[in-house]
Amino acid sequence: MAVNGNPTIRRRRLGAELRRLRLARGLTSTQVAQHLLISQPKVSHLENGRRAISPRDVRDLCGLYHVRDQQVIDSLMEMAGEANRQGWWVACGKVPYAVYIGMETAAAAVRSYEPLVIPGLLQTPAYASAVIAETIPLATEEQIAVRLEVRLRRQSRVHHPARSIRLEVVLDESALRRVVGSPEIMREQLEYLNRLGEQPHITVQVLPHSAGAHPGILGQFTILDFPDTATGTVYLERFTSDLYLEKRSDVRHYGAMFDRVQAQALNPELTRRFITRAAQELPAAATLPAPP
């Protein structure tokens, strides 16, 4: 069983195989949890690839599912050992959203609605540094440096010549108007955003204030689509704990929401013109009020 080098992909494929074996045995995840004296959410996390699984867990599950073929058992246990290898982001230090980074690294496409800031994959180093420093209370210089390093390394997927990620982003006008860092930093960011939007695998659209109410008005959401499954994952970013939705009905609901905000947003050509005007309308640094 050859698998992709990404540990998140390994875990997802191993989890999918264990789910298939469970369903073939006619067991629910609750029944499995009761047999193995673990929680039902742990079983779900193992099958969704969001939690590492030990070879011992695989052996116990294979016994419960009456898997007799030793080659199959050995192969699954080997996958478990490989899936427990750490991703590149772990070496950078403590990263609070490591689960999301693993999923983003494994994704084939990302669809995102952002109401307040430019998404991390599209940020310039100066803009990213300003956002991190100004939005995380009590953060140390070391924590800021780690987050910045991870954010910039994540962007390699955007520029990878062989396996670049498909990216569709809808930005609320507020994300363009809010001056982050300084007018110079913001102007550089907007010009960079326009350059990225010209690439064939990146679609950037702006949802102007004049569009009125829309399905994304309650907040940010991101949909990750994976090459190994028909069902994606919805990621909802929160300040202290993030939320991941993987039920088909939830993913379908957010997919419809994204389709609606895309339809209400300006097309890519009008978006580039809008961003150009926003950059031209930025105030000079001297006209900004001094911080308290």
pLDDT tens, 169-197? Answer: 999 999 999 999 999 999 999 999 999 99
- 264 near 173, Cβ under 8 Å? no
In the prediction, which pLDDT does 2 show?
37
Residue 218 dihedral angles phi and psi, to the nearest 5°: -85, -10
Spatial CB neighbours of 196, under 8 Å, sequence gap ≥ 6: 122, 158, 202, 204
65, 85, 105 - which closes a domain:
85
User: Higher-confidence residue: 95 or 275?
Assistant: 275
85, 105, 127 - which closes a domain:
85
Q: What is the pLDDT of residues 53-65, one digit of tens each?
A: 888 888 888 888 8
User: Is 205 in the same domain as 272?
Assistant: yes
User: Is 184 in the same domain as 267?
Assistant: yes
Q: d(Cα 156, Cα 173) in Å, to the nearest integer?
A: 26
User: Is 172 in the same domain as 49?
Assistant: no
Least confident span in 77-86, 120-129, 221-230: 77-86
pLDDT exceeds cutoff 60 at 120 = yes
Residue % of the chain over a pLDDT of 90: 40
- What single-letter amino acid sits at 41? P
Structure tokens at 262: 């895309």
CB atoms within 10 A of CB 169: 26
pLDDT exceeds cutoff 70 at 1 = no
pLDDT exceeds cutoff 50 at 4 = no
pLDDT exceeds cutoff 80 at 141 = yes
32, 56, 85 - which closes a domain:
85
User: Is 138 in the same domain as 184?
Assistant: yes
In a domain, residue 280? The reply is yes
- 82 near 3, Cβ under 8 Å? yes
User: Is 113 in the same domain as 46?
Assistant: no
Q: How confident is the model at residue 11 (pLDDT cuts 50, 70, 90)?
A: confident
Q: d(Cα 164, Cα 202) in Å, to the nearest integer?
A: 10
- 190 near 279, Cβ under 8 Å? yes
> Could you tell me which of 119, 221, 133 has the C-alpha nearest to residue 182?
133
In the prediction, which pLDDT does 94 show?
65
> Could you tell me which of 115, 90, 114, 120 has the C-alpha nearest to residue 102?
90
pLDDT exceeds cutoff 60 at 110 = yes
User: Is 103 in the same domain as 175?
Assistant: yes
In a domain, residue 1? The reply is no
Indicate which CATH number applies to the domain containing 49. Answer: 1.10.260.40
Indicate which CATH number applies to the domain containing 140. Answer: 3.30.870
User: Is 97 in the same domain as 71?
Assistant: no
Q: By residue range, what is the domain housing residue 193?
A: 89-287
User: Higher-confidence residue: 3 or 86?
Assistant: 86
In the prediction, which pLDDT does 220 show?
92
CB atoms within 10 A of CB 185: 20
In the prediction, which pLDDT does 8 show?
67
User: Is 103 in the same domain as 225?
Assistant: yes
User: Higher-confidence residue: 196 or 107?
Assistant: 196
In a domain, residue 292? The reply is no
Taking residues 214-230, report their average pLDDT: 86
In a domain, residue 195? The reply is yes
User: Is 40 in the same domain as 113?
Assistant: no
Domain count, the chain: 2
In the prediction, which pLDDT does 264 show?
96
Q: d(Cα 150, Cα 158) in Å, to the nearest integer?
A: 14
Q: d(Cα 38, Cα 112) in Å, to the nearest integer?
A: 35
pLDDT exceeds cutoff 80 at 73 = yes
In a domain, residue 2? The reply is no
User: Higher-confidence residue: 30 or 163?
Assistant: 30
User: Is 15 in the same domain as 71?
Assistant: yes
The pTM of this model reads 0.74
Residue ranges with strand state E in the chain: 109-114, 166-172, 202-207, 221-225, 233-236, 243-245
User: Is 27 in the same domain as 164?
Assistant: no
Least confident span in 39-43, 71-75, 86-90: 86-90
User: Higher-confidence residue: 45 or 292?
Assistant: 45
Burial class (CB within 10 angstroms; exposed 0-12, middle 13-18, buried 19+) of 127: buried
pLDDT exceeds cutoff 70 at 289 = no
In a domain, residue 249? The reply is yes
Q: How confident is the model at residue 240 (pLDDT cuts 50, 70, 90)?
A: low
User: Higher-confidence residue: 163 or 284?
Assistant: 284
User: Is 118 in the same domain as 239?
Assistant: yes
